[in-house]
Amino acid sequence: MKKDKTIKRDFYLLVVKVFLSTLISTFITYVCLFLFIFVLTNNNTIKPSNYYVKYIDSIEKKIKENSSSILRGQLIDLKSYHENIQGEVLDINGNHMYGDKGIVDGRIDFSKVINHEIVKGKYVYRYIPVQHNNSIQAVYVIKAPFGFFINNIKDNPGAVFIYILLLISPLLFFIIYLILFTSKLYKSLFNNIKVLLQAADKISNGDFDFQVHGLRRDEFIKIQNSFNTMINALKETIENLSKIDDERKMMVSSIAHDIRTPLTVIQGQMDLIADLKNQDNFDITPHLDIIRNNCYKMVMLTDNLSLLYKVEKADFLLNIKKIDLNKMLMEKKQEISAVAHNKRNLAIKFDINLNKQFYLLDESMLGRVLDNILYNSLRFTMSGEIKLEVHDEVDEHGNKIYFKCMDTGIGFRQKDTSILFEAFYQDKQYRNHIGLGLYISKKIVNNYGGEIWAYNNEKGGATVEFYIKEFSDSLL
């Protein structure tokens, strides 16, 4: 795959393109300028920079032929050659003798300038010696314009304008190419920025069902990937917030229903007791059992709600201490048996095979897991049995304690039993019940370093299995 360009590379290429384009265009222009001057000079349309030198050559020859007369003040008629030519005769000390004054400024060392031609400013100066008796008696200084501009500004202003324009063409070409290539680069970059601005506008309007694409250059591709990651994260966050809000509404509704149901039952039993208490042979015991069971449901509900926020925290820790696990399980069996005493055809069995008496565990958290699992079985099992098997094994990772709760109830209707452990999950067979028990159990078991899973039995009923790891002495 061809690697995309970077903005840095584009700017380097911009400089190279502007430089090379300016260089090539300038070369072509200067060739044209040379041809322009050459052609127009040959047909006498314009005057070259050294146009007056040919007149100075003729004047110099004339001066040498008339040296004696010049020393007597009979000067060469320079205007007959051209009106722009001036001349001044100076003695060997540089003092003015004849001709135009002020042609030469300051004192001059004639030994250095005689028979020389000097270009100064816009004029050319030629210092011609005037000799008599084989000795230099004076110096004739000829001054004439020198330069394309000054030679043609008066007679050919159009040619001068073209000359200047061609002369400054490198600067013009540089500006033109800079604007041209910069505009092209800007357009390319702006298209990327435009896409990002449109994406930002969609995000600000709450639209997350899109992906940014089509950007070019490495830097913008990185921004594009970051934008898409941000869009996905925002979309997921919004969906989660919406889900949490729905769960909150459902939880409030379920809590209200779960609390209302046992309260209604308790209220009904209280009214029934009030109506029947004066009858002969009235037995209040079953009514009290119903009231007790519903009170226990309310306690379980409030306990689960208070525990929910605790197990959700990342720093949730367990209260570890040495407990008699066999004794705890026997007490749990008596508790469950007491609650299930009104189900005459239901047996509660515990099969415990442990290698030692004491274990380092959190008794309350383990008890909560067992309560959630056992009472779920009790809720959906009308007859048969609920059996809890417990045993431990030692491996290279430490001591593991395995729990397996089996019942002969109606079982799970869902094929994917993993969803049973999601927060606020509601089984179709038990609507309007807040689904926190198995979710909290999974959190606690995971904190023990264990796992929990559930499935249906082949002959009916359901099974929930989990294992936990015993803590080490160092945590006490």
pLDDT tens by residue, 397-410: 788 999 999 999 98
Q: Does residue 433 surpass a pLDDT of 50? A: no
Q: What was the pLDDT predicted at 427? A: 56
* Alpha-carbon gap, residue 375 to 29, rounded angstroms: 98
Average pLDDT over residues 348-367: 91
Question: For residue 272, is pLDDT > 90?
Answer: no
d(CA 128, CA 429): 127
Tell me, what's the pLDDT at 237?
84
Per-position b or e across 52-64, b if 16+ CB within 10 A of its CB: beebbeebbebbe
Residue percentage of the chain with pLDDT more than 70: 87
Average pLDDT score over residue span 104-119: 78
276 pLDDT band, cuts 50/70/90, is: confident
The span from the CA of 371 to the CA of 301, in Å, is: 12
Q: Which contacts of 58-66 are long-range, i.e. CB under 8 A and separated by 24 or more positions?
A: 59/85, 59/87, 59/128, 59/142, 60/126, 60/128, 60/142, 63/128, 63/130, 63/140, 64/128, 64/131
CA distance 329 to 240: 39
**SS3 at position 319:** coil
- pLDDT tens figures, 126-153: 999 988 888 888 899 999 998 877 877 7
**Confidence band (pLDDT; 50, 70, 90) for 466?**
very high
pLDDT interval class at 327 (50, 70, 90): very high
> Does pLDDT of 452 surpass 90?
yes
- Cα separation of 206 and 176, whole Å? 44
| Whether pLDDT at 435 is above 90 | no
Q: Phi then psi for 257, rounded to 5 degrees?
A: -70, -45
- Please give the pLDDT value at position 1: 40
Name the more confident of 303 and 239.
239
Query: For position 432, what pLDDT does the model report?
Result: 42
| Complete DSSP assignment for 402-431 | EEEEEE-S-----S-GGGGGSTT---GGGT
Dihedral, CA atoms, 41, 44, 45, 51, nearest 10 degrees? 60
So what's the pLDDT on residue 451? Answer: 93
Please list the helix, strand and coil fractions of the chain in percent, rounded to the nearest 5, in that order. Answer: 55, 20, 30
**pLDDT range class, residue 300, cuts 50, 70, 90:** low
pLDDT digits (tens, 9 = 90+) for 195-207: 888 888 888 887 8
Predicted local confidence at residue 111, as pLDDT: 74
Measured CA to CA, the distance from residue 49 to residue 47 in angstroms comes to 7
Which two three-digit tokens encode residue 359?
Answer: 């274990």
pLDDT at position 195 is: 80
Considering the chain, what is the average pLDDT of its residues? 81
| Tokens at 469, concatenated | 């790891």
pLDDT number for residue 304: 63
Residue 339 has a pLDDT of 78
Alpha helices in 50-168 (DSSP H): 53-65, 67-71, 110-113, 148-152, 157-167
What is the pLDDT averaged over residues 95-110? 80
Phi/psi of residue 90, nearest 5 degrees:
-120, 145
3-state secondary structure of 104: coil
User: Per-residue pLDDT averaged across 426-444, rounded?
Assistant: 65
CB 468 within 8 A of CB 448: yes
Segment 371-378 mean pLDDT = 87
Mean pLDDT of 373-395: 90
**Does the pLDDT at position 434 exceed 50?**
no
The upper half-sphere exposure of residue 269, i.e. CA atoms within 13 Å in the direction of its Cβ, equals 19
- For the chain, helix (H) and strand (E) counts, in that order, are 12, 12
**What's the pLDDT score for residue 238?**
84
Q: What is the pLDDT of residues 19-56, one digit of tens each?
A: 999 899 888 888 887 887 777 777 667 778 888 888 88
